[in-house]
């Protein structure tokens, strides 16, 4: 801490004062300034959180006349998008029930309006009134007496008719009946259901996929009889949308033929605040 030396008639003397610590105690302000001198800053930046976002699967139905739209909504909470993948799968329509097969037969009309259900005929036609031998039976024909009703008076008229063996004689209506239909009433009834897994035989064929109006369809894609399962990178169509990616993005799926279900799953990697 200090040194003093004296010289006199005798031997010289030296006085040395030693402290109990190895340095002087600094003030708080000096200590802080000294620490700041030693700080080294490299690559300082805001570290965002990276999110892995999965949307779907969403199931849509399409056929040759009906398109389907799936929407991806990106809000202002997302300030960057690194990648967007879209998985597309197709499959036939599926039902858990089907109508049970019902028994049936051919119904014909009866002149007396019986229990048989009349069939409808919308074409002009004539009706057979009566007939004699068609030529299917051999032997001489006997004379037969027929009775008819005169339409204008209601009078019964009797006449005899016969034909040679092997010939045919038919009596039909004189005037065609004209186009007409028959009305009938279907009685109350019920149908039973068979439950199970029933799949259609068709799939969507020649599928077209657009994102914000831009086609992202691999070629070829979708064949009847084959289930499709493919993954498409649609990052560029999302990030480069006019007006910015913080918007509603329309994904439209269509097919030129066939029908079925399309399952869409979107996987999004993005930075969020």
Per-block average pLDDT, block size 10, for the chain (273 residues)? 80 81 70 74 65 84 90 85 89 84 47 45 65 54 68 76 54 64 74 84 87 84 71 90 90 90 88 57
Nearest to 61 by CA among 261, 235, 272: 261
Confidence (pLDDT) at 85? 92
Confidence (pLDDT) at 130? 62
Asked whether the CA dihedral 6, 12, 18, 24 is positive or negative, the reply is positive
Fold of 49-93+202-272: Jelly Rolls (2.60.120)
Q: Distance between CA atoms of 58 and 69, rounded to whole angstroms? A: 10
Cβ within 8 Å of residue 152, ≥6 positions away: none
Q: Name residue 72's beta-bridge partners.
A: 249
Q: Distance between CA atoms of 141 and 127, rounded to whole angstroms? A: 25
Q: Name residue 214's beta-bridge partners.
A: 211
Confidence (pLDDT) at 86? 92
Cβ within 8 Å of residue 96, ≥6 positions away: 195, 196, 197, 198
Task: Indicate the burial class of 251 (C-beta count within 10 angstroms; 0-12, 13-18, 19 or more).
Answer: buried
Q: Where are the domains of the chain?
A: 2-36, 49-93+202-272
């Amino acid at each position: 801490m200090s040194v003093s030396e004296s010289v006199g008639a005798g031997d010289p003397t030296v006085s040395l004062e030693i402290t109990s610590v190895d340095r002087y105690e600094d003030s708080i302000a000096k200590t802080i300034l000294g620490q700041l001198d030693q700080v080294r800053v490299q690559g300082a930046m805001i570290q965002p959180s990276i999110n892995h976002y999965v949307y779907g699967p969403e199931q849509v139905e399409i056929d040759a006349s009906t398109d389907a739209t799936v929407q991806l909504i990106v809000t202002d909470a997302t300030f960057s998008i690194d990648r967007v993948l879209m998985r597309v799968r197709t499959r036939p329509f599926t039902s858990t029930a089907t109508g049970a097969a019902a028994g049936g037969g051919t119904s014909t009309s009866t002149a007396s309006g019986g229990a048989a259900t009349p069939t409808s005929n919308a074409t002009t036609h004539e009706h057979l009134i009566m007939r004699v031998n068609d030529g299917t039976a051999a032997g001489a024909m006997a004379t037969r007496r027929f009775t008819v009703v005169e339409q204008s008076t209601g009078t019964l008229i009797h006449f005899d008719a016969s034909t040679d063996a092997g010939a045919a004689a038919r009596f039909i209506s004189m005037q065609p009946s004209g186009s007409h239909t028959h009305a009938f009433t279907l009685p109350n009834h019920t149908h039973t259901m068979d439950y199970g897994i029933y799949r259609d035989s068709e799939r969507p064929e020649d599928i077209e996929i657009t994102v914000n109006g831009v086609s992202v369809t691999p070629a070829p894609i979708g064949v009847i009889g084959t289930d499709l399962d493919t993954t498409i990178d649609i990052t560029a169509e999302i990030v480069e949308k006019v007006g910015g990616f913080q918007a509603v993005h329309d994904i439209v799926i269509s097919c030129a033929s066939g029908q079925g279900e399309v399952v869409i799953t979107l996987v999004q990697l993005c930075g969020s605040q």
